[in-house]
Amino acid sequence: MTSYFTDKRLEAIFRKIEREKRLNFDDGMALYETTDLIGLGHLADTDRRRRHGDRAYWVYNQHLNYTNVCANRCQFCAFARDAGEDGAYTFSIADIEKQLTARIDEPVRELHVVGGINPALPFDYYLDMIKTIKAIRPGVTVKAFTAVEIDNLAAIAGRTHEETIAELKTAGLEMMPGGGAEVMSRRVHQKLFHRKIDHERWLDVMKIAHKSGIITNATMLYGHIETLAERVHHLLTLRELQDETGGFSAFIPLAFHSAHTRLPHLPATTAYDDLKNIAVARLLLDNIDHIKAYWVMIGEKLAQVALAFGADDLDGTIIEEKITHMAGARSARGLTRSDMTRMITTAGFTPVQRDSFYHPVKESAPLP
Ligand code: V47
């Protein structure tokens, strides 16, 4: 039989995987450097099918971005504003109640809640926000606050990270999203987001969350000034923490969008690089179960193709996305249940509606 691979380095990696040997930094570089996209996709798809068969997950979720006022002002962000600046907003608890009740007839399973580092908000605001969500929608999972926000909450509450997470948990926090580490490199941190906590602190907060029983996701922002070596280092650092805690549920590569940011000259990521990031993550993160193709950032069409390049999850309906659309994303603002299932079935996979913890959810009503 002829070999699948036009790149001989992939053949060697294939044999390593067959012998269940862990991939290392050099393998990661070879996977990123290869131009054998089909060979890379084949390796990732084989791994993906071994874990998940032909299942592809999605969740009925809603995003809530409670404020865009942010003290960090990262170079790559088009969402943040200074207090009082044109377009700055902060939702009151009453605004949040209104947003949730407006969608109360929809079978939302997960609320994804993130916002800027707004120095005017007291700790009680965050507790009230979670309690309000749980009061209006007792059945939803509250997936809220990146490690960056948790670090800020601990500072304003004057408590340790452990105590802060414990209080938020009592209020109803069940899971944390994966944003905030961007790409784990001192060089990139200095250049693009020096006011934000560094990756060592991000990892410390994630470790504490995991040890407190909070499952989290992890992300990597790619397609700006990072090198391939920095990407591989990022993935291997996540793998190392996962060996210790087992607390990461899914990994989501985030494709940089430059419009209205301080890096407007940077070109959009290519489909080729988007698929590579999915596939390399699937292969290097051997201890993280799920890889998400986040359709908001790579578009619905490519997200569908990514299911054959290592991704097993398309995230969800979202209802209304702000962060990437303010940076020029041209994908939909939100998708319906039938959009999600059509994307999956027409790619040859079996759709599984899930809750936040990847338990299958029974459809209770016909698709709209
Ligand atoms: O940390 C900010 C990124 C992240 C831009 O855990 C940008 O399920 C592209 O973390 N272009 C927040 N990306 C989003 C996030 C996330 C998204 C979906 C699912 C989950 C999950 C988490 O968005 C930030 C940053 O890395 N971001 N600006 C931009 N211009």
CB of 77 closer than 6 angstroms to any ligand 1 atom: yes
* Domain boundaries defined on the chain: 55-353
Residue 367 has pLDDT above 80, yes or no: no
DSSP label at 35?
S
Ligand 1 centroid to Cα of residue 292, in Å, is: 12
Give DSSP secondary structure letters for 106-124. S---EEEE-----TT--HH
Give the residue whose CA is nearest to atom 14 of ligand 1: 179
Span 27-45, pLDDT tens digits: 999 999 999 999 999 999 9
Residue 362 has pLDDT above 90, yes or no: no
Give the residue whose CA is nearest to atom 12 of ligand 1: 179
Q: What's the confidence (pLDDT) of residue 163? A: 98
Ligand 1 centroid to Cα of residue 179, in Å, is: 6
pTM of the complete model beyond 0.95: yes
pLDDT above 90 covers a percentage of the chain that reads 96
Residue 49 has pLDDT above 80, yes or no: yes
Q: What's the confidence (pLDDT) of residue 320? A: 86
Span 220-277, pLDDT tens digits: 999 999 999 999 999 999 999 999 999 999 999 999 999 999 999 999 999 999 999 9
CB of 216 closer than 6 angstroms to any ligand 1 atom: no
Residue 365 has pLDDT above 60, yes or no: no
What is the average pLDDT score of the chain? 96
Ligand 1 centroid to Cα of residue 254, in Å, is: 6
In this structure, are residues 88 and 68 in contact, taking their beta carbons and an 8 Å threshold?
yes
Residue 12 has pLDDT above 80, yes or no: yes
CB of 221 closer than 6 angstroms to any ligand 1 atom: yes
Residue 1 has pLDDT above 50, yes or no: no
Ligand 1 centroid to Cα of residue 86, in Å, is: 22
Residue 55 backbone dihedrals phi, psi, to 5 degrees:
-75, 140
Residue 69 has pLDDT above 60, yes or no: yes
Give the residue whose CA is nearest to atom 10 of ligand 1: 179
**CATH 3.20.20.70, domain 55-353, yes or no:** yes
Residue 5 has pLDDT above 50, yes or no: yes
In angstroms, the Cα distances linking 192 to 2, 248, 261 are 46, 25, 11
Which atom of ligand 1 sits closest to the CA of residue 297?
A: 9
Residue 368 has pLDDT above 80, yes or no: no
Comparing CA positions, the residue from 95, 103, 57 lying closest to residue 252 is 57
CB of 68 closer than 6 angstroms to any ligand 1 atom: no
**Residue that is written with structure tokens 């939302």 in the block:** 108
Q: Can you name the residues that pair with 252 across neighbouring β-strands?
A: 219
Comparing CA positions, the residue from 185, 102, 100 lying closest to residue 139 is 100
Ligand 1 centroid to Cα of residue 333, in Å, is: 15
Please give the Cα distance from 146 to 221 (Å, whole number). 14
Ligand 1 centroid to Cα of residue 2, in Å, is: 41
Please give the Cα distance from 186 to 193 (Å, whole number). 10
Mean pLDDT of 291-300: 97
Span 55-67, pLDDT tens digits: 999 999 999 999 9
In angstroms, the Cα distances linking 345 to 191, 308, 336, 352 are 43, 12, 14, 10
CB of 323 closer than 6 angstroms to any ligand 1 atom: yes
Report residue 71's pLDDT band, with 50, 70 and 90 as the boundaries: very high
Neighbouring CB atoms inside 10 A of 75's CB total: 14
Please give the Cα distance from 68 to 83 (Å, whole number). 9
Q: Which two tokens stand for residue 43?
A: 């390796």
Ligand 1 centroid to Cα of residue 17, in Å, is: 31
Please give the Cα distance from 294 to 313 (Å, whole number). 8
CB of 351 closer than 6 angstroms to any ligand 1 atom: no
Pocket test of ligand 1: the residue of 260, 314, 323 to mutate, having most ligand atoms within 8 Å of its CB, is 323
Ligand 1 centroid to Cα of residue 298, in Å, is: 12
Span 309-350, pLDDT tens digits: 999 999 999 988 999 999 999 999 999 999 999 999 999 999
In angstroms, the Cα distances linking 11 to 2, 31, 217, 253, 327 are 12, 11, 31, 25, 39
CB of 185 closer than 6 angstroms to any ligand 1 atom: no
* 158 exposure class (CB count in 10 Å sphere: 0-12, 13-18, 19+): exposed
Mean pLDDT of 44-56: 98
Span 235-248, pLDDT tens digits: 999 999 999 999 99
pLDDT above 70 covers a percentage of the chain that reads 98
